[in-house]
């Protein structure tokens, strides 16, 4: 009898361990429901531009969406482009509370939910279904797994905004279909895209598991992981990323495909939730660092044209890779809580993202280059040249049209991830832009709103004004960006604390209505080192580019299928071939002049006419630096930090503007003697 308590204790310990092992690891941060974060200021205006542009109207003019759409039961587009568009258009509709756009996107959502087959399969009718020959009791009569992975993400966002219970039943039924059929109809049965991007499928499976706790979902996650491209091994073992830097041949090209990589980087973090082994997160860290070391560009992204293609700043990056990398990093942040991924999101968002679309958000580039001085039809140095030479021009359909549909999720999902919930039921300010967040916090789930007023990323102050009906005790956290040497936090006008870059400020107190937290993040100018010992000038999260006068020229490509394709070339009207004086590299704070320009956030557009900040620098022209295959391939700055070729004696004054405002630009500069 004396041993009985020990037996009982042992039984409960074993039961508890088993219970923990069959559950997913707790998230470091939880995502808020769609609509909890409302954009303001310049960010709101950016989303309004999208609503007035292609995001709000793509279904009205783009033939793949417009004509007999498969996701509405027709014979038209039944693959990735319609769900790609919805993956950005649906959150935009809810972020703006746009009734017209909501009605548009909900047609597709409701058709999808209302036309699930008895087997659990969903989406556009397969060829055999349309011909009336087969049923979907046999998965071989179905269709590609890949586009359904995108629609699952759309449905998740719809559910968080509406709590429509149909979504949970729908996804449960579909995942049971996958669970029973994947051993026979594997991810790569119809295309390699599903195999490469299976991590997105697992992400949705685990999302549903956190709601229903159906044990079969964890087994399904294991099966999907086995069939997915082994990104965890690729990222951790390192040979893959080095081979990708050396090879652009046909061997295993899907493993180097930039968009596949952008989606694949989150796989180790996703699967870590199930296995809880730190080795998965170690592989992710190693792989991300290696990718950015060997293929990283000053704008925050890696080359992806379409392969990973080294760190030369005149290599290209596909728009789809940009928005998919942002989403992967936003999910990784929630799982790991590691702040360096948040720094990476901001760098991509504030530099790369606005630099790849036109002001009206109807046009975009397929491939964007960091150093880009003459946008024209041509072959360039891309691993995917295209015979029509349309990869670098601005237009609605330039290059592959996947980006025409997929470009819309970047700004919307960035807005959705400005704030996260903490495990203590508090709030974490992870990414910064003007917005208002409303959430239930603290031990009693009291509702609070925080109005974040800021001109970030151009200005260095962030003011958070709290609104609450009664005093509420909860944890309020702020991420300090890695580039910030020392941040200062004020509460109601009084200095509270300081913190270093890459730290978290935790404020745990009872908050009252109209309490104000001010975060000051001093932005000192600095230089960073890139390919061929070139240098970029940075301030805060922004990279600065040489301002080049632009001449936009409209043209039309007439295709053999009868469709016409409008596009823009952009020609330089001023010199661009400058090197920075070495003394700028030695002492940037002394040699660079920062000019802050007042601007109207409600009308701000990311272009050269609306720049809120300029940096004045000195440089000399390098006459032999000319275009090579339409690209400004860098001359080499030697290890002594100075270009050794011919340099003009005249010292010129250079105006630098934020990268995202410059369609033509030099951002990685050679260095020349003073």
Q: What is the 3-state secondary structure (H, E, C) of 140-166?
A: HHCCCCHHHHHHHHHHHHHHHHHCCCH
- Angle formed at CA 141 by CA 136 and CA 144, multiple of 5 degrees: 110
Using the CB atoms, write b or e for 431-466: b if 16+ within 10 Å. bbbbbbbbbebbeeebebebbbbbbbbbebebebbb
Q: pLDDT value at position 10?
A: 41
* Helices 216-227 + 166-181 axis angle, to 10: 50
Q: Which of 166-175, 535-544, 637-646 has the lowest mean pLDDT?
A: 637-646
Cis peptide before 580 (omega within 30 of 0): no
Q: pLDDT value at position 564?
A: 87
The whole-number average pLDDT for the span 314-326 is 98
What's the gap between Cα 532 and its chain centre? Answer: 27
User: pLDDT tens digit string along 448-502?
Assistant: 999 999 999 999 999 999 999 999 999 999 999 999 999 999 999 999 999 999 9
* Helices 198-212 + 146-162 axis angle, to 10: 30
Pairing mode of beta strands 427-429, 472-479 = parallel
DSSP state of 521: -
DSSP state of 490: E
Q: Is the pLDDT of residue 19 over 50?
A: no
User: pLDDT tens digit string along 45-60?
Assistant: 999 999 999 999 999 9
Place 245 in a pLDDT band, splitting at 50, 70 and 90.
Answer: confident
Strand partners, 655: 616
The whole-number average pLDDT for the span 520-544 is 98
User: pLDDT tens digit string along 113-164?
Assistant: 999 999 999 999 998 888 887 777 889 999 999 999 999 999 999 999 999 9
Q: Is the pLDDT of residue 532 over 70?
A: yes
The whole-number average pLDDT for the span 179-206 is 97
Question: Do 654 and 595 touch, CB atoms closer than 8 A?
Answer: no
Q: pLDDT value at position 180?
A: 97
Question: Do 40 and 348 touch, CB atoms closer than 8 A?
Answer: no
Q: pLDDT value at position 497?
A: 98
Question: Do 194 and 187 touch, CB atoms closer than 8 A?
Answer: yes
Distance of alpha carbon 387 from alpha carbon 271, whole angstroms: 40
Mean pLDDT of the residues in the chain: 95
Q: pLDDT value at position 9?
A: 42
Q: Is the pLDDT of residue 235 over 70?
A: yes
Q: pLDDT value at position 12?
A: 42
Q: Which of 40-49, 352-361, 626-635 has the lowest mean pLDDT?
A: 626-635
Alpha-helical regions (H) of 520-610: 582-586, 588-591
DSSP state of 356: G
Q: Is the pLDDT of residue 299 over 60?
A: yes
Q: pLDDT value at position 2?
A: 44
Q: Is the pLDDT of residue 625 over 70?
A: yes
Strand partners, 539: 525, 542
Distance of alpha carbon 310 from alpha carbon 293, whole angstroms: 9
Q: What are phi and psi of 525, to 5 degrees?
A: -75, 150
CA-based nearest residue to 477, from 536, 428, 547, 537: 428
User: pLDDT tens digit string along 79-88?
Assistant: 999 999 999 9
Concatenated DSSP letters for 275-305?
H--HHHHHHHHHHHHHHHHHHB-TTS-B-BS
Q: pLDDT value at position 4?
A: 47
Q: pLDDT value at position 14?
A: 38
* Helices 319-336 + 409-416 axis angle, to 10: 20
Q: pLDDT value at position 8?
A: 45
* Structural domains in the chain plus CATH codes: 35-228 (no CATH), 230-372 (1.50.10.10), 419-454+460-520 (2.60.40.1180), 525-672 (no CATH)
The whole-number average pLDDT for the span 9-28 is 59
Q: Is the pLDDT of residue 558 over 90?
A: no
Question: Do 274 and 206 touch, CB atoms closer than 8 A?
Answer: yes
Q: Is the pLDDT of residue 18 over 90?
A: no
């Amino acid at each position: 009898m004396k041993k009985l308590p020990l037996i009982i204790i042992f039984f409960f310990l074993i039961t508890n361990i088993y219970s923990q092992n069959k559950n997913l690891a707790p998230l470091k941060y939880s995502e808020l429901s769609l609509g909890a974060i409302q954009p303001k200021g310049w960010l709101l205006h950016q989303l309004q531009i999208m609503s007035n542009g292609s995001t709000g109207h793509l279904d009205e003019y783009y033939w793949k969406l417009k004509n007999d759409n498969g996701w509405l039961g027709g014979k038209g587009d039944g693959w990735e482009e319609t769900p790609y568009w919805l993956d950005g258009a649906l959150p935009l509709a809810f972020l703006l509370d746009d009734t017209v756009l909501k009605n548009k996107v909900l047609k597709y959502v409701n058709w999808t939910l209302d036309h699930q087959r008895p087997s659990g399969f969903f989406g556009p009718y397969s060829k055999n279904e349309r011909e009336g020959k087969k049923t979907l009791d046999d998965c071989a009569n179905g269709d590609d797994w890949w586009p359904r992975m995108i629609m699952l993400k759309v449905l998740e966002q719809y559910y968080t905004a509406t709590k429509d219970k149909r979504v949970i039943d729908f996804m449960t039924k579909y995942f049971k279909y996958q669970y029973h059929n994947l051993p026979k109809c594997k991810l790569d049965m119809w295309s390699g895209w599903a195999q490469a991007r299976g991590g997105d499928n697992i992400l949705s499976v685990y999302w549903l598991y956190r709601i229903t706790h159906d044990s079969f979902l964890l087994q399904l996650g294991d099966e999907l992981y086995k069939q997915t491209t082994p990104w965890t091994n690729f990222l951790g073992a390192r040979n893959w990323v080095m081979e990708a830097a050396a090879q652009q041949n046909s061997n295993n090209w899907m493993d180097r495909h930039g968009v596949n990589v952008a989606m694949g980087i989150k796989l180790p973090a996703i699967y870590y939730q199930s296995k809880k082994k730190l080795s998965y997160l170690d592989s992710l860290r190693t792989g991300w660092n290696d990718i950015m070391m060997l293929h990283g560009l000053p704008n925050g992204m890696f080359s992806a044209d379409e392969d990973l293609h080294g760190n030369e700043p005149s290599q290209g990056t596909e728009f789809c890779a940009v928005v998919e990398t942002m989403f992967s990093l936003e999910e990784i942040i929630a799982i790991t809580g590691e702040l360096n991924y948040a720094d990476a999101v901001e760098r991509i968002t504030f530099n790369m993202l606005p630099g790849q679309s036109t002001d009206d958000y109807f046009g975009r580039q397929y491939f964007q280059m960091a150093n880009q001085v003459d946008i024209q039809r041509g072959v360039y140095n891309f691993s995917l040249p295209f015979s029509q030479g349309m990869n670098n021009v601005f237009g609605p359909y330039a290059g592959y049209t996947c980006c025409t549909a997929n470009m819309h999720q970047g700004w919307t999902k960035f807005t959705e991830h400005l704030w996260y919930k903490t495990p203590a039921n508090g709030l974490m300010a992870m990414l910064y832009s003007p917005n208002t967040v409303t959430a239930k916090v603290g031990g009693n789930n009291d509702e609070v709103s925080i109005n974040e007023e800021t001109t970030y990323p151009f200005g260095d102050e962030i003011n958070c004004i709290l609104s609450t009906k009664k005093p509420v005790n909860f944890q309020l956290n702020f991420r300090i960006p890695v580039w910030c040497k020392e941040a200062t936090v004020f509460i109601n006008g009084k200095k509270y604390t300081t913190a270093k870059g890459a730290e978290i400020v935790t404020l745990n107190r009872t908050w009252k209505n109209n309490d104000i937290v001010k975060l000051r993040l001093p932005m000192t100018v600095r230089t960073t080192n890139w390919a061929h010992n070139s240098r970029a000038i940075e301030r805060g999260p922004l990279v600065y580019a040489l301002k080049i006068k632009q001449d936009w020229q409209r043209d039309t490509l007439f295709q053999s299928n009868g469709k016409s394709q409008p596009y823009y070339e952009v020609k330089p009207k001023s010199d661009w071939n400058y090197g920075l004086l070495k003394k700028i590299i030695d002492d940037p704070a002394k040699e660079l002049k920062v000019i802050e320009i007042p601007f109207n956030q409600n009308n701000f557009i990311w272009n050269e006419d609306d720049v809120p900040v300029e940096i004045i620098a000195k440089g000399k022209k390098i006459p032999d630096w000319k275009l090579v295959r339409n690209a400004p391939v860098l001359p080499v700055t030697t290890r002594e930090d100075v270009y050794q070729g011919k340099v003009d004696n005249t010292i010129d004054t250079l105006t630098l503007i934020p990268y995202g405002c410059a369609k033509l630009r030099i951002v990685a500069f050679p260095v020349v003697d003073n």
